[in-house]
Amino acid sequence: MYFVVSTNLILALLLFLYIAHSTQSHAQIFDPFELRYQNAQKGGIRFLSNVAISCTGSGTCSNAQAQMPPNGNGSNESFNMNYIDFDAVPTTFMSSSDSLNLENCSEVLWAGLYWSAEISTGTQGYSNRDQVKLGVNSDAYIDLVAEETEDVMGISHPSYHCFKDITSIVQSAGIKARFTVANVVARTNAFNVFGGWSIVVVYKNIYESMRNLTVFDGFAAVSNGTSLDIPISGFNTPLAGPVSFELGVIAHEGDRGASGDGLSFNGGSGTFQAISDALHNVNNCFNSTISYDAVVTPFRIPSYNNNLGYDAAIYIPDNSSFNYIGNNSSSATIRVATSNENILCRVLTSVIDIYEPDLRASVYIDDLNNGLVEPGDELEYTLVGKNIGSDLSLNTFVVDTLDPRTQYIPNSISIVYGPNSGSKTDIPDGDQAEYDLVTNSIKVRVGTGADGITGGEVIASPEGSDSTVIKFRVTVVDDCLMFQCDSTLEHVAYIFGTGDISQNEYGNDGASDLLDANGCPLTASNALLIDVSGCSPPAVVYNDPLCETETLDLTATFSALANYSWSGPNGFSGSGSDVSIPDVSLVDSGDYNVQITFDGLDCLIDTFTTVVIHPLLFL
């Protein structure tokens, strides 16, 4: 028997088979993975993580929890899972903790708290699943409510997934702090369930490599024979030399004893390379381990080696042969795949070496009058701008806004070392430098090829071989009152440029190439203490004695640069260093206060006098 099949039917059949194959080979994505945070900084990413539920009891349970990865075969399928609660606080039914332990000179840029658990609508506390408690060190718990909650009920492990930005909390806690998360709602007294939390911390540190720091989050169920691909971009790896990178993944339901699940990376070669380390076999990357660079993280309470359905691991693959990613690369793809497990993928992070400038501007101040620095002295400022990064800086320029207690000495700018050396004028577009009277700032375009409009090129050199040294002079304002408001003269310079490879704009945020006692970069590069021992203290006087019907004249210490705000009895208010109240009466007696401030200074002089008004006596 013969069948005649039309071309259209063949095309339709092929299309059906393609769609069917695509559906089977790709993960179920319930919340598309999107960029949560990205930055180009010297620094990295760390996970703080722990479980909310685990098995209980000795024997088989404790043996499973103690299994050191990649060994062991204990999984949540074999145990009745219940809450962990170590804090002995009556208001919590669940609690576990982990600690942040960043290196000296680190600074937290961003932090996000993620919590997830298997759940059903009948689970006790279901309506509170978007709420947790967070404790920092020994402080009392604070209550948090999720900014985002994703409920996924149509899969083999129905679950919820929450997110909360806690950047300000982690920044305030410092770079070495313990965090306890409590009351993560989960399905308990059940087999084959999971629950846990992670804090993803992005930080910067001047002593680490310049990197692209990226956090993606979403939710996908990667089940038998499917995969999840997450493309990443927004970086440029170095043109030459080593390229290191780190990959982080937070996922659920990976079992220690099950194989066939993997993590791989394609840095532009067209071929995915498998990821593994000493704790994760190449075909079992999701094995219920919380680790960093093949070391189980040491600060968790409780600290299980096998977390029974919760993974939070950061890998640092060996890229010495550039098999994962090479020089001059600007995109890559992370792949999560499994042949016979259910992997619930929640967070993916990447830390990739990039090609960027790292600009610094240091300040040195000399008193040309020698001895103590006093109001009226002349100071010489020396600015040193350099690029200690990995990429050429284009259109590079230095901006220095002068302290309001100093006055610029006209035509005193000069470049004494580096390209374009020589004296400069104050006129815009005349040469590489200019002074702006309105903003009281100096701008100097530096580097090779700089002119009256555009900054020049500054090569990358950790030794500062292409640095520029700028000098100019100022006079300390001869105003005692300003320096009694604040007697310390600090100075910060800013340098800006654009990366040649990335075309990203870059600035130093005031960072210098000078170090403090802890070996960390100084922001205020130099500080001088102004001697005000010869200045009279601020005071308020009035025309005493004063009788009813006369005019009260109040006088505060004068400064032409000061702002005065008066208050006093009977609803009095005023401005200026001298104020008057005509035809006073007895109700005008009392304390008259004046607050003195200066534009551009964050300080306040608050002083007062007590006015006594005498009654008229009639004989």
- With a cut of 60, say whether residue 8 has pLDDT above it: no
* 238 vs 97, more confident: 97
- With a cut of 80, say whether residue 5 has pLDDT above it: no
Check residue 225 and give its pLDDT.
Answer: 86
* 219 vs 601, more confident: 219
Check residue 385 and give its pLDDT.
Answer: 95
In this structure, are residues 511 and 363 in contact, taking their beta carbons and an 8 Å threshold?
A: no
Take residue 149 and report the two structure tokens written for it.
């909650």
Q: For residue 156, count other CB atoms closer than 10 A to its CB.
A: 11
The SS3 assignment for 371 reads coil
* Averaged pLDDT score across all residues of the chain: 91
d(CA 127, CA 185): 9
Check residue 524 and give its pLDDT.
Answer: 65
Q: Which residue has the tokens 């002295």?
A: 377
Strand 422-423 and strand 261-266: the pairing is unpaired
Over the stretch 482-528, which tens digit does the pLDDT of each residue have? 988 888 888 889 999 999 988 889 999 888 888 888 888 877 667 78
Over the stretch 288-311, which tens digit does the pLDDT of each residue have? 999 999 999 999 999 999 999 999
Check residue 212 and give its pLDDT.
Answer: 93
Over the stretch 261-279, which tens digit does the pLDDT of each residue have? 999 999 987 899 999 999 9
Check residue 514 and give its pLDDT.
Answer: 84
Q: 214 burial class (0-12, 13-18, 19+ CB within 10 angstroms)?
A: buried
Q: Using the 8-state DSSP alphabet, how is residue 559 labeled?
A: -
Check residue 230 and give its pLDDT.
Answer: 92
Q: For residue 115, count other CB atoms closer than 10 A to its CB.
A: 28
- With a cut of 70, say whether residue 9 has pLDDT above it: no
CA 300 to chain centroid, in Å, comes to 24
Check residue 528 and give its pLDDT.
Answer: 83
Instruction: Work out the average pLDDT over 464-472.
Output: 93
In this structure, are residues 113 and 184 in contact, taking their beta carbons and an 8 Å threshold?
A: no
- With a cut of 80, say whether residue 595 has pLDDT above it: yes
Cross-strand bridge partners of residue 379:
367, 474
Take residue 423 and report the two structure tokens written for it.
């004296």
Residue 172 main-chain phi, psi, to 5 deg: -70, -30
d(CA 73, CA 79): 12
Over the stretch 140-155, which tens digit does the pLDDT of each residue have? 999 999 999 999 998 9
In this structure, are residues 610 and 590 in contact, taking their beta carbons and an 8 Å threshold?
A: yes
Strand 310-315 and strand 331-338: the pairing is unpaired
In this structure, are residues 55 and 61 in contact, taking their beta carbons and an 8 Å threshold?
A: yes
Check residue 525 and give its pLDDT.
Answer: 66
Could you write out the three-class secondary structure of 301-348? ECCCCCCCCEEEEEECCCCCCCCCECCCCCEEEEEEEECCCCEEEEEE
In this structure, are residues 83 and 92 in contact, taking their beta carbons and an 8 Å threshold?
A: no
The SS3 assignment for 77 reads helix
Over the stretch 391-445, which tens digit does the pLDDT of each residue have? 999 999 999 999 999 999 999 999 999 999 999 999 998 899 999 999 999 999 9
d(CA 576, CA 565): 7
d(CA 151, CA 191): 20
Check residue 62 and give its pLDDT.
Answer: 95
d(CA 284, CA 340): 11
Q: Using the 8-state DSSP alphabet, how is residue 536 labeled?
A: P
> Could you tell me the pLDDT band of residue 534, with boundaries at 50, 70 and 90?
confident
Check residue 551 and give its pLDDT.
Answer: 97
End-to-end CA distance of the chain: 141
Over the stretch 341-396, which tens digit does the pLDDT of each residue have? 889 999 999 999 998 899 999 999 988 887 788 889 999 999 999 999 889 999 99
d(CA 139, CA 134): 9
The percent of residues in the chain predicted with pLDDT above 70, rounded, is: 95
Nearest 5 degrees, angle CA 133-CA 134-CA 139?
A: 120
* Max CA separation in the chain (angstroms): 141
- With a cut of 60, say whether residue 23 has pLDDT above it: no
Take residue 5 and report the two structure tokens written for it.
């099949």
d(CA 561, CA 597): 9
Instruction: Work out the average pLDDT over 195-199.
Output: 98
The percent of residues in the chain predicted with pLDDT above 90, rounded, is: 76
Over the stretch 311-334, which tens digit does the pLDDT of each residue have? 999 999 999 999 999 999 999 999
Check residue 516 and give its pLDDT.
Answer: 82
Please tell me the least confidently modeled range out of 81-85, 254-258, 511-515.
511-515
- With a cut of 90, say whether residue 604 has pLDDT above it: yes
Check residue 618 and give its pLDDT.
Answer: 59
Over the stretch 560-588, which tens digit does the pLDDT of each residue have? 999 999 999 999 999 999 999 999 999 99
Please provide the size of the chain in residues. 619
Domains of the chain: 18-353 (no CATH), 359-529 (2.60.40.740), 540-614 (2.60.40.10)
Q: Which residue has the tokens 């401005």?
A: 575
Check residue 446 and give its pLDDT.
Answer: 97
In this structure, are residues 47 and 221 in contact, taking their beta carbons and an 8 Å threshold?
A: no
- With a cut of 60, say whether residue 552 has pLDDT above it: yes
- With a cut of 70, say whether residue 2 has pLDDT above it: no
Alpha-helical runs (H) found in 423-550: 480-485
